[in-house]
Structure 1
């Protein structure tokens, strides 16, 4: 199977827009039914061998324990309980409104009382429209949905390999449903004082210095898939640091910068995996060195922390 197959945004935009809202419906249920973890690690999805999952939720709020899984092989949503009961339905042929109604029926059938606190999209152009009223987004192409999951899985594998090289605090490799990207973050233990008026999501996500790495499928502001990295807070001179491979570049983002490597540029490389790993490493070193992180002390070659055991 080809590593990083073509996935131009223009070819599957309608499916992506529908699937993004499907994901937000399930993500908001996960947010309501899970215990809050530091830096919102309870919010994103994880990948499975067939799609994405919320992981088990419930119990602490009086509901049964239940996971919700997107199956992008059989193209179904699966809601299950620990006692073996399961409700599933096809993803194709549904608007966001009909998907939302089917999800609520599935939860009721399993005795789950959890509901999204704000049942409408987050940070999308139609954020004022309830999911239950969205009959506009109703495109689900199974081939495009399956390719989305395969690309996610391939990028996640590379991010897991990259994650092995750092012994400090790190996030899981996880899929954020609100921004529809895959991300992995390295932390220093230095606290960050957020400006007065910063929202609660930002304050918790960036309460420590971070260097974050990820991949997104493109949107209206950057209409193509790309690998990315950023340092927050951004140290002086970050955008002057070299990036690898040569096609990578720094892109202004408000008052800061984003390291970007276009997905299609990676596809021209003879070793695509090595190109992405080199990109992430160069972006990490650019931020860590300028922010004064202990690069050598936090290194973890080959995923081994004990220098005696290192090859």
Structure 2
């Protein structure tokens, strides 16, 4: 693995390149961009699980930190803006196509959780992407428009506008934490809904916690997310081969719902829906059996189309 800095808009993205076994820089390889979940980082599931596994199968894989997050640049910090998240993918591809050992005609993308929907959205407009995989993908725009705004997006947008004005005048930023401090705190607060509790078990324990995975968002910069939709125009623009992996234990974040929706709507002639029966959203982050189910489909998918 090699750490690199990738030029983005006016800052750099921190990224790890995962190389195949026996890597030979004089050869050319297919490449995959691996996109991390909302509030996550490259050292978590996108890199240490799916990035590592796909590299072991012969792909050059780049797992990177989103702009404003992790070790990447961009100010202010902790912005979760779908438009930037999607554009980051294209900046990583800009980097890949300059590498002599990457075949620019064999570039794919994979994303986990929110990264899955960002990967799908990027594939609609960046035709350099030849195949896309989504693992328990969540349409963050839909989530913000609905549950994360208390099903009142207009009131949320009014509150965001007020907070952004306050910050522009020198007020203190409001940073929202997505999760309780620990599983024990979640139980004490009665926050035991499946996705929320399992997210806390992953991000707030040694199981998945990493310094770059901040699981927080600057409230004043969430307006774009409220008005965004990862699947807009998928019936026309999403024509690349698509592999959608979901667990069949649905939770509040809606990956099961979103996975079935994009599978139905995608214009792709070659598309596959994989349902990991008996498993949840966060099981697909790192648990061996559901991850194996996902990879048993994703590996041949990328080998076929890349």
**Which of the pair has more CA radius of gyration?**
1
Higher RCO structure (Cα 8 Å, ≥6 apart): 2
- Alignment TM-score, normalising by the size of structure 1: 0.27
**Which structure shows the bigger proportion of residues in helix conformation?**
2
- Alignment TM-score, normalising by the size of structure 2: 0.28
